[in-house]
Amino acid sequence: MGEGPEQAAEVGEQLALVRAAGRRSAAPRARPRTWRDAERAERLPVARVLVDKGLVHLDRLFDYAVPAAMDAEARPGVRVRVRFGAGQREGRREGGRLINGFIVERREETDFPGVLAPLAQVLSTEPVLTPALLRLCRSVADRYAGALADVVALAVPPRMARAERRPSPEPQDPPAPPDPGGWARYPHGPGFLDALSRGEAPRAVWTALPGPGWADELARALATSLAAGRGALAVLPDGRAAARVDAALTALTGGGAHVLLTADAGREERYRRWLAVSRGAVRCVVGTRAAMFAPVHGLGLAAIWDDGDAAHRDEHAPQPHAREVLVLRAAQERAAVLLGGHGVTVEAAQLVETGWAGPLAAARETVRETAPVIRTVVEDDQRRDEAARYARLPTVAWQALRDGLAHGPVLVQVPRRGYAPRLACDRCRTPARCADCHGPLAAEGALELLGCGWCGRRAPEWHCDACGSPRLRAVVIGARRTAEELGRAFPAVPVRTSGRDHVLDTVPDAPALVVSTPGAEPVPAGPGYAAALLLDGWALLGRPDLRAGEEALRRWLNAAALVRPQPQGGTVVVLAEPTLRPVQSLVRWDPAGHARRELADRASLGFPPVSRMAAVSGPPDAVAGLLGAARLPPDAEVLGPVRLPVPDPGRPRRTGDPPAGEQWDRALVRVPPGQGAALAAALKTARAARLARRESAGARVLIDPSDIG
């Protein structure tokens, strides 16, 4: 009798059992003939296992028998290997592939009517999937119509055996409570910290004053929660921002009280830090979006900075957003929430509007003292202005540059490539929207083929809602070369660039032209940039995206926040139509007001986040099939489907993009407030049923799509 693969696996499992029991030599007693004959644990002989496979229709737990030898190690939360999948040999079930999973619970009984297969191996004794983390993952999976196993894969980092062997540092005593520092600049700032130190759970939307103070203020909030004997967590959009809060917190506490969880650290180091948090040795985490799941013990404060930044949405299924995850966590763990940024998202404004969070903003007078002066210049001035035609710049912009360069570095914000143009009124530039569903209009080739990007309805007789003009224009893009020419216009001044591939961290406090794409602006040493020139107005506002205005304002504010305050001569020039709402909000430095007005508009037009949306995309038959099968909530409204445009070949393929050469449709499903959970559940159920029956290559479901035109 030859030793087939199944016999080899069986022997392997027995060896694993022997190893798990801590014996190095052969088993002393008669070896059980198969696993089925091995002794079971006496107490709680059933392990409920979350199988580590993202198949949506398998989004449930499976029971396995716990062999006696694994009894001590097979605790809830540990990683295990189990046999999974069909397999019958000679009438006995013993096949199936070995896959990884987590023990979720030990039980006395099982509901499964058949014979339980045994656990094959306990991979690690580290209880990584704690009850609190499991509960969070389950809520996130429900919220996003995703599979629990997919969310757990985001929340629990891959195992690094060496990191597990090393002990975590001894827990430190809580630091002394910090003084309010910059929070004294906000009328309700000290009160927020007081509530934190009393162990309460205040929730605030924080409109941070311009300038560099925010990182220190965020660190003080974290340290206050630590001082109150609770944990704290801050999620930042990128490693640079996280490093600034890390430095501020280290200066405040001496370090050791927190860990930095970013992609910069290697996988093993990252897991080592994560373990220190999971074990309760460290109770404060500063990190990028994956840190949103960090299993901080006794979480007292969950903070997020600049929640409008697209980096806060995870790109892996089911693509949860850090703000939403932290909001869920805060409710489950009774933690305080701090949603901070120079801008305010519509989602944050909604949390204030519903009373879930309170506003935390400085007085008007304080804002005026700390913000630079903002000037607007319209595009058309460029052609008229003779003096500055060399650099194709309006006089105002030219003067601001020249004056700024006499006093320090000047920031020039230029757009990134790759924004798809959208259509707007030729006269007043109000974005063109569908009369029926308010989706964005797009032209397929000629303008006669005008149609809605959401519902597909044609709009041959379009007239501007705002001014009545029948003429459209494609919003044009491109100011990059202007920045390049600036260097030639100021030959005596060094030009430094910062962008996607090469991000400059800081620049010295000396005259220089600093050309940067949004989000890559170097932090100036000293009092800040003397001036900033924001050249990407039309590119940002012209993006075919519901959030274009909000996003333009967010990027402008982030750049302008690096400029010296008005009393020190700081000036910002923005090339954009001064009557547009985001431009006016920038001039007045009123991001909260902008978000409130956007929220009111979205409510009246039935846009998210007031209504909840889901995008269903995939091959046309899959999209139609899923929508037909889903038992959607009664008030659900299906927009589309429409054919998705073929993505730019240059752009890296993202989740939700059709594969090369394939035609995909996308439909949007919209439900009124309060039906978001029902919508997610309906789509998840329908998708699971169809995947199980393999009726088609599955359609993708994305909750809260952000690029919906």
Partner DNA sequence: TCACCTGCCCGC
Partner DNA sequence: CGGGCAGGTGAA
Closest approach, Cβ 565 to DNA, in A, equals 58
Examine residue 107 and tell whether it contacts DNA (CB under 7 A). Answer: no
What is the Cα–Cα distance from 439 to 448, expressed in whole angstroms?
18
284 is in an annotated binding site: no
Closer Cβ to DNA, 381 or 695, answer by number: 695
Examine residue 83 and tell whether it contacts DNA (CB under 7 A). Answer: yes
What is the Cα–Cα distance from 530 to 405, expressed in whole angstroms?
7
Closer Cβ to DNA, 5 or 460, answer by number: 5
Examine residue 692 and tell whether it contacts DNA (CB under 7 A). Answer: yes
Residue with tokens 């899959």: 622
Q: Tell me which of 34, 88, 506, 655 binds DNA, using CB under 7 A.
A: 88
Closer Cβ to DNA, 119 or 562, answer by number: 119
Closest approach, Cβ 65 to DNA, in A, equals 7
Query: Does an H or E element contain 32, and which?
Result: none
According to DSSP, the β-strands at 92-93 and 472-474 are: unpaired
Closest approach, Cβ 63 to DNA, in A, equals 4
Q: Are 197 and 268 in contact (CB under 8 A)?
A: no
Number of residues that bind DNA (CB under 7 A): 27
137 is in an annotated binding site: no
Closest approach, Cβ 697 to DNA, in A, equals 7
Q: Are 163 and 275 in contact (CB under 8 A)?
A: yes
What is the Cα–Cα distance from 543 to 538, expressed in whole angstroms?
8
Closer Cβ to DNA, 172 or 685, answer by number: 685
Closest approach, Cβ 408 to DNA, in A, equals 58
DSSP per-residue codes, 252-314: HH-SSS-EEE-TTS-HHHHHHHHHHHHTTS--EEEESGGGGG---TTEEEEEEE-TTSGGGB-
Q: Tell me which of 110, 168, 366, 706 binds DNA, using CB under 7 A.
A: 110
| Core vs surface per residue 608-637: b (16+ CB within 10 A) or e | bbbbbbbbbbbbeebbbbbbebbebbeebb
Helices (H), 131-266: 131-143, 148-155, 161-165, 189-197, 214-227, 239-253
Closest approach, Cβ 48 to DNA, in A, equals 8
Q: Are 262 and 289 in contact (CB under 8 A)?
A: no
Contact map string, positions 414 to 433, toward DNA, x by CB under 7 A: --------------------
- What count of residues does the chain have? 709
Of 642, 633, 643, 620, the C-alpha closest to 670 is 633
What is the Cα–Cα distance from 151 to 56, expressed in whole angstroms?
12
Closer Cβ to DNA, 115 or 176, answer by number: 115
Closer Cβ to DNA, 65 or 327, answer by number: 65
Examine residue 626 and tell whether it contacts DNA (CB under 7 A). Answer: no
3-class SS of residue 226: helix
| Amino acid sitting at position 670 | R
Cα-to-chain-centroid distance, residue 117: 39
Closest approach, Cβ 692 to DNA, in A, equals 5
Provide φ and ψ at 603, rounded to 5°: -65, -45
Q: Which long-range contacts (CB under 8 A, 24 or more apart) does 150-155 make?
A: 150/54, 150/316, 150/317, 150/318, 151/318, 151/320, 152/50, 152/52, 152/102, 153/52, 153/54, 153/316, 154/290, 154/293, 154/314, 154/316, 154/320, 155/293
Closest approach, Cβ 117 to DNA, in A, equals 3
Closest approach, Cβ 38 to DNA, in A, equals 13
Closest approach, Cβ 679 to DNA, in A, equals 24
Examine residue 161 and tell whether it contacts DNA (CB under 7 A). Answer: no
Closer Cβ to DNA, 299 or 691, answer by number: 691
Q: Tell me which of 84, 102, 462, 589 binds DNA, using CB under 7 A.
A: 84
Of 413, 419, 566, the C-alpha closest to 499 is 413
Examine residue 92 and tell whether it contacts DNA (CB under 7 A). Answer: no
Closer Cβ to DNA, 197 or 696, answer by number: 696
Closer Cβ to DNA, 404 or 698, answer by number: 698
434 is in an annotated binding site: yes
Q: Are 74 and 121 in contact (CB under 8 A)?
A: no
Of 680, 701, 669, the C-alpha closest to 437 is 669
Closer Cβ to DNA, 2 or 114, answer by number: 114
Closer Cβ to DNA, 34 or 332, answer by number: 34
Contact map string, positions 645 to 684, toward DNA, x by CB under 7 A: ----------------------------------------
Closer Cβ to DNA, 55 or 247, answer by number: 55
Residue with tokens 């869920």: 328
Q: Which stretch binds DNA (CB under 7 A): 141-149, 247-255, 608-616, 692-700?
A: 692-700
Closest approach, Cβ 50 to DNA, in A, equals 12
For 110, half-sphere exposure in the C-beta direction (CA atoms, 13 angstrom radius) is: 18
Contact map string, positions 360 to 399, toward DNA, x by CB under 7 A: ----------------------------------------
Q: Which stretch binds DNA (CB under 7 A): 79-87, 240-248, 413-421, 600-608?
A: 79-87
Closer Cβ to DNA, 97 or 481, answer by number: 97
Q: Which stretch binds DNA (CB under 7 A): 259-267, 277-285, 655-663, 689-697?
A: 689-697
Examine residue 693 and tell whether it contacts DNA (CB under 7 A). Answer: yes
What is the Cα–Cα distance from 626 to 684, expressed in whole angstroms?
10
Residues 33-72 close enough to bind DNA by CB under 7 A: 55, 57-58, 62-65
Closest approach, Cβ 115 to DNA, in A, equals 8
| Residue 156 DSSP class | S
Examine residue 597 and tell whether it contacts DNA (CB under 7 A). Answer: no
Closest approach, Cβ 49 to DNA, in A, equals 8
According to DSSP, the β-strands at 97-107 and 46-51 are: antiparallel
Examine residue 502 and tell whether it contacts DNA (CB under 7 A). Answer: no
Residues 112-151 close enough to bind DNA by CB under 7 A: 112, 114, 116-117
Q: Tell me which of 36, 40, 93, 457 binds DNA, using CB under 7 A.
A: 93
Examine residue 694 and tell whether it contacts DNA (CB under 7 A). Answer: yes
Token pair listed for 700: 């993708």
Contacts of 466 (CB under 8 A, 6+ apart): 425, 428, 430
Cα-based distances in Å from 200 to 91, 331, 339, 382: 60, 13, 17, 55
Examine residue 86 and tell whether it contacts DNA (CB under 7 A). Answer: yes
Closest approach, Cβ 206 to DNA, in A, equals 45
List binding-site positions for Zn(2+).
Answer: 425, 428, 434, 437, 452, 455, 464, 467
List binding-site positions.
Answer: 425, 428, 434, 437, 452, 455, 464, 467
Give residues in contact with DNA (CB under 7 A).
55, 57-58, 62-65, 82-88, 93, 95-97, 110, 112, 114, 116-117, 691-694
